[in-house]
Chain A
Amino acid sequence: MLSIADKLPDSEPTILKRQGGEKAQGVTETMEAVRSALAENKAVRIAGKGSFNGYGNQLSKESVVIDSLKMNDFIEYDQDNQFITVGSGLTLGALQEKLAQQNQWLPIRPPFGATDTTIGAIVATGAVGPERLTYGAPRDMLLGLQYIDSSGSMVTAGGRVVKNVAGYDMTRLLTGSLGTLGFITEATWRIGTRPDTCKRISGSGTIDECFAAGLKIVNSNLLAALVTITPEAGLATLTVGFEGLELVVDSQLERCREVMNAGGLNISEAEQYPVVDGFLTPAFASIWETPFVLQADVVIKHGAEFVAQLSQNSTPSSLLLDVAGGRVHAGFGALTDSQWAGIDSAVNKFKGHCKLLKAPEEFAKEHDLFGSSTLQAAESSRGICQRA
């Protein structure tokens, strides 16, 4: 292996030529801004459209805000090979609009911020909704990245082909790293053909009835795109979405209806929903309106038990359970220290973890928003960051 003493010159690849990089729109200015901040020993706070402002723990040193919005161009779009490379400041909405012209899309519906979210923010936060059941998470669709590192230099990770094991998988490392490892300048995504239709069916009952039916659907050979539960006033609604060819979607809706019927749920008529926006925007908006927004993940089969404990412990004002992922998003008007500790304790019990995506500044100053329940992985991760 190479040793640090044997560092390679900062050369270009000997054969592969890439589009984008330093030549892409806005990248040179961003590199200069990053270098200037480093020279002044200031931290860099990366900003896009502001969808995730306040996300993460408080910075402990003086910082400068550098935005990505000038890096908003389409660098390479190959509809036949189904990939697209774009600047990190481009919004998801603009990207989806471009892809729609060719009946394609990037199958990500970020819960908060929706189409106004920048591509950089989606990578940095790993934002994904319950549709990951069928389409995967951003890290699964990301083929390559370019980013400015802490020396102010450009680094390339991955590429544009769908299988690539050359080098460490820096794209996955950067995804969800909240911009702490580099300033993402462009991203290459695997894209797909838009489904012909998206339809959902809902059934109401107790949360246990909904969960039992939801779990049955998740573990059947039906190909649901997403399975969610929203509790309200002592009852709950199970909603299952199917996306694809109309014939296949309709057939699955019928079979799903049978499972819900057998589970004793009151079923409403199936409805169509838009491909890009999905149907969860109002539910997520209502959660985001609250001062505290929780994201908790537990082992799938404990989803309902965790929601029950959460409701006893801290009374969320709105909540959505992704049955297939074991993920809960909940909004709270207020959260005391003991309630936050109670949530931590509950996620630990169910082999999970939690974080506050949003909290008032005073609370954020005094608490670790990633929770005391962080697993050893998080500790290792911090250690690696300190050494890297």
Chain B
Amino acid sequence: MITESFVKKMEGIVGKEYVKTSSADMELYSYDASLVGGKPGLVVFPGSTEEVSKVMREAHQAGVPNVGRGFATNLSGGTIIRFEGMVIVLARFNKILEIHPESKYAVVQTGVTNLELQEAVAPLGMFYAPDPASQKVATIGGNIGENSGGPRCLKYGVTSNHILGMKTVLSDGEIVDIAGPSLDPPGYDVRGLMVGSEGCLGVATEITVRIIPKTESVITMLAIYDDVSNAATSVAEIMRAGIVPLTLEMMDNTIIQAVEKGGPCGYPVDAAAVLIIEVEGISTGLKEQAEKVDKICMDSGCREVRTAKNQEERELLWKGRKGAFGAICNLSPNYLVNDGCVLRSDLPEVLKRVKEVSDKYGCPVGNVFHAGDGNLHPLLMFDSRNEKELEQVHKAGWDIMEICAEFGGTISGEHGIGEEKREAMKMIFSGHDLNTQQNLKSAFDR
């Protein structure tokens, strides 16, 4: 329960200007990028780890539920607080603290965006591998909360593979340094556990990330298909051939239309689907690898493979892919995105089933996704002003999760469970599995 005296305590800790209680402010912090709505009673903006610690200690003592939040690009309602709790906004944690190219790590505050980190290390010839499409605004803290992916994760692995350590505040305000710049510290892999825990186990304030030297060359290809199934087959065949591309992304005709409406990015609007395929490495042998990919695509029914001739063409292709979610506004006022993950070989069948769901509920669907990982992103379009459509789209989303579970996959590959998919956890875990996870959380909630 948020009382007046609790608000005063918060003002005493972070300063009056960094505490918000007005109904307009509560409205602003009641949603993220998902369809889930919340109802905060208080929003605070701490400026240091010590302030976060004091805020959380007071909340713990007063029994005020709380959630950490960056720039709220969360797609599963993971930064939403439903019952008059407190939102702890970490936007002031926006500094890059250390960069050590020789030892391949950097230390950043949790509110630094993924792109800011990329831009800081790029002049040193380095990069940070995870690259979610929302990287312009998604924070590193949010990335670790969700164990974010991105196109490059096909080759380099998800966020968890690139986090070395973190300074975290536990629910009772205790500050702990979890791991650090050297490998595998003694004790349990608490760092691995915290990544992807959606902020349920603590609030990270400083994060040590692994950075990697840039590769020498990259070749970007656009494979164009008249049939979505053929594109899905190419994906499976490329991986089966032992090639691990840097990226292997698929967009169907609906998405191509949406993107091209917003400004030309070089996608053929008559194609049923395209694959954006990149191979990277040292210059020697790279052309041969690209030729092998080209042949596999053509052998599996591709109409044409185009290669980006220069950096400008490459950037344009990526601009379209990374802006695909936003481009849906050219077709529909709202969308719901699912992110179930299935085996690559099941993609043709699963995509057919997704289309059937879309038809059943009358929600048009566009697919733009990390095909190499089997990580679907069906964008189900609707108008939230129409209650019937809202109801139908939720049913469609549920059915798609069921399909992913039925095919032996998972209900979320990278967007998280949040408020949105909590009930669906029973599709893939037993009661005892879920109790075990709850017990684990209790170990952190002291």
Contact = CB atoms under 8 A, between A and B. Distances in A.
Nearest to A254: B284
B398 to A, nearest CB: 11
B373 to A, nearest CB: 5
A64 B318 CA distance: 58
B152 to A, nearest CB: 13
Contact of A126 (B153, B160, B184, B196): B184
A384 interface: yes
B285 A2 contact: no
Place the interface of chain B in its size category.
Answer: 35 or more
B332 interface: no
B341 A163 contact: yes
A377 B179 contact: yes
B220 interface: no
Interface stretch (A44-52, A172-180, A276-284, A359-367): A172-180
Contact of B410 (A159, A193, A351): A159
Interface in A104-136: 126, 136
Given A163-B375, A166-B411, A375-B180, A219 B189 contact: no
A297 interface: yes
Interface string A8-19: 111111111110
Interface string B147-188: 101000100011011000100000000001111111111111
B309 interface: no
Contact of B417 (A7, A167, A219, A375): A167
A154 B282 contact: no
B385 interface: no
Contacts of B402: 15
Nearest to B372: A162
B285 A245 contact: yes
A165 B417 contact: yes
A299 B410 contact: no
Given A10-B431, A168-B196, A355 B102 contact: no
Given A81-B345, A247-B285, A248-B285, A377 B176 contact: yes
A263 to B, nearest CB: 15
Interface in A142-156: 149, 153-156
A375 B281 CA distance: 37
A165 B416 contact: yes
A351 B164 CA distance: 12
A384 B282 contact: no
Contact of B186 (A11, A162, A301, A370): A370
Given A165-B415, A221-B282, A297-B184, A380 B431 contact: no
A374 B186 CA distance: 6
Given A219-B213, A247-B288, A248-B285, A172 B183 contact: no
Given A139-B189, A382-B187, A162 B179 contact: no
Interface string B425-446: 1111111111111111111101
Contact of A353 (B153, B185, B370): B185
Nearest to B239: A82
A340 to B, nearest CB: 14
Nearest to A141: B157
A165 B146 contact: yes
Nearest to B240: A80
B146 to A, nearest CB: 6
A221 B433 contact: no
Contacts of A264: none
Nearest to A17: B408
B253 to A, nearest CB: 25
A325 B442 CA distance: 34
Nearest to B438: A2
Given A165-B415, A176-B188, A221-B214, A4 B176 contact: no
Q: Which residue of A18, A103, A140, A161 has the most chain B CB atoms within 10 A of its CB atom?
A: A161
Nearest to B197: A168
A193 B242 contact: yes
B47 interface: no
A339 B183 CA distance: 22
B301 interface: no
A288 B73 CA distance: 50
A149 B160 CA distance: 24
Contacts of A331: none
B102 A140 contact: no
Contact of A384 (B188, B414, B417, B422): B188
Nearest to B429: A13
Given A81-B344, A161-B413, A166-B425, A221 B216 contact: yes
Q: Is the interface of A mostly helix, strand, loop or mixed?
A: loop
Given A161-B413, A247-B285, A326 B239 contact: no
Given A156-B429, A161-B342, A248-B281, A169 B192 contact: yes
Q: Which residue of B183, B195, B200 has the most chain A CB atoms within 10 A of its CB atom?
A: B183
B394 to A, nearest CB: 18
A377 to B, nearest CB: 5
A385 interface: yes
B410 A170 contact: no
A200 interface: no
A62 interface: no
B345 A300 contact: no
Interface string A207-227: 000000001001111110000
Given A4-B438, A139-B189, A169-B193, A12 B184 contact: no
A252 B442 CA distance: 51
A3 to B, nearest CB: 8
Contact of A387 (B146, B215, B289, B443): B443
Contacts of A355: 186
Contacts of A8: 426, 431-432, 434-435
B40 interface: no
Nearest to B145: A165
Q: Which residue of B178, B193, B240, B422 has the most chain A CB atoms within 10 A of its CB atom?
A: B193
Given A14-B426, A165-B417, A351 B213 contact: no
A306 B242 CA distance: 39
Nearest to A196: B242
Given A248-B285, A353-B186, A377-B178, A172 B414 contact: no
B190 interface: yes
B413 A164 contact: yes
A121 to B, nearest CB: 16
A222 B282 contact: yes
A15 B427 contact: yes
Contacts of A219: 101-102, 104, 213
A39 interface: no
Interface of B: 100-105, 125, 146-147, 149, 153, 157-158, 160-161, 165, 176-193, 195-197, 200-201, 213-216, 236, 239-240, 242, 244, 281-282, 284-285, 288-289, 341-345, 370, 373-375, 402, 405-406, 408-417, 421-422, 425-444, 446
11 contacts: A12-B430, A78-B343, A81-B344, A159-B409, A159-B410, A169-B195, A251-B285, A299-B103, A300-B103, A375-B186, A384-B443
